[in-house]
A and B are shown apart, each in its own frame.
Chain A
Amino acid sequence: GAVVSQHPSWVICKSGTSVKIECRSLDFQATTMFWYRQFPKQSLMLMATSNEGSKATYEQGVEKDKFLINHASLTLSTLTVTSAHPEDSSFYICSARDLSSGREKLFFGSGTQLSVL
């Protein structure tokens, strides 16, 4: 079964509204989670690294005020797209790093399709 739960799977919103996407690790603690963005027929692009209890690290070109990341617990990271516009429409996918076995494993969520009207 899935070990990383991402919610919602899809969301349609009006331009100017904010949308929150949740990423949960279900049976392990994830001090680090990652957020990616994927345009149709394009690759995944890392947006930011979410660290539990500290500020997220954003990749170059990603607006931190636009894409707010909160990682308040060891099992939950949220991405909020603030004042969404049609150009923010994309597939957003998270991943969580599991170090519990002594060897790094990365598990991905099932993604969120965001459509901004």
Chain B
Amino acid sequence: AQKVTQAQTEISVVEKEDVTLDCVYETRDTTYYLFWYKQPPSGELVFLIRRNSFDEQNEISGRYSWNFQKSTSSFNFTITASQVVDSAVYFCALSESGGSQGNLIFGKGTKLSVKP
């Protein structure tokens, strides 16, 4: 069965701290895709990254970085030097349908609060 677990319900940090959001997934497929989305208070989901199961290379984009470990079925997201604008709910998601973002299984999300 497909499942995405984000064990951290809420995290609170002070600005400039680094923070890692955990994501653990379950799937029986060998080909799958993982995503991270940001949901700010305004409600819309903002796409952050998509990674396929064959690419375990870690990725860095500015202050964001992602660590994909197939051995532990984890796809963790780290924000370096956090800022108040990073405050949002972050969702990790899994897709087995050829990477289509439509058929996504979402985790319950982690609410990140960055205090000044």
Contacts and interface: CB of A to CB of B under 8 A. Distances in A.
Interface of A: 2, 4, 9, 32, 34, 41-46, 49, 91, 93, 95, 97, 104-111
B19 interface: no
Interface of B: 4, 9, 37, 42-47, 91, 99-104, 106-109, 111
A32 B102 contact: yes
A108 B45 contact: yes
Contact of A46 (B42, B99, B104): B104
B101 A111 contact: no
B108 A49 contact: no
Given A91-B43, A111-B43, A104 B109 contact: no
B45 A41 contact: no
Contact of A108 (B44, B108, B111): B44
Contacts of B91: 43-44
Nearest to B47: A106
B39 to A, nearest CB: 9
B44 A104 contact: no
B116 to A, nearest CB: 24
A111 B44 CA distance: 6
A37 B4 CA distance: 17
A97 B102 contact: yes
A74 to B, nearest CB: 16
A2 B44 contact: yes
Contacts of A110: 42-44
A49 B100 CA distance: 12
Nearest to B101: A106
B104 A41 contact: no
Q: Which residue of B37, B44, B111 has the most chain A CB atoms within 10 A of its CB atom? A: B44
Nearest to A34: B102
B99 A104 contact: yes
Contact of B101 (A2, A42, A97, A109): A97
A46 B97 CA distance: 14
Given A105-B47, A110-B44, A111-B43, A43 B107 contact: yes
Given A41-B9, A43-B107, A43-B109, A93 B102 contact: no
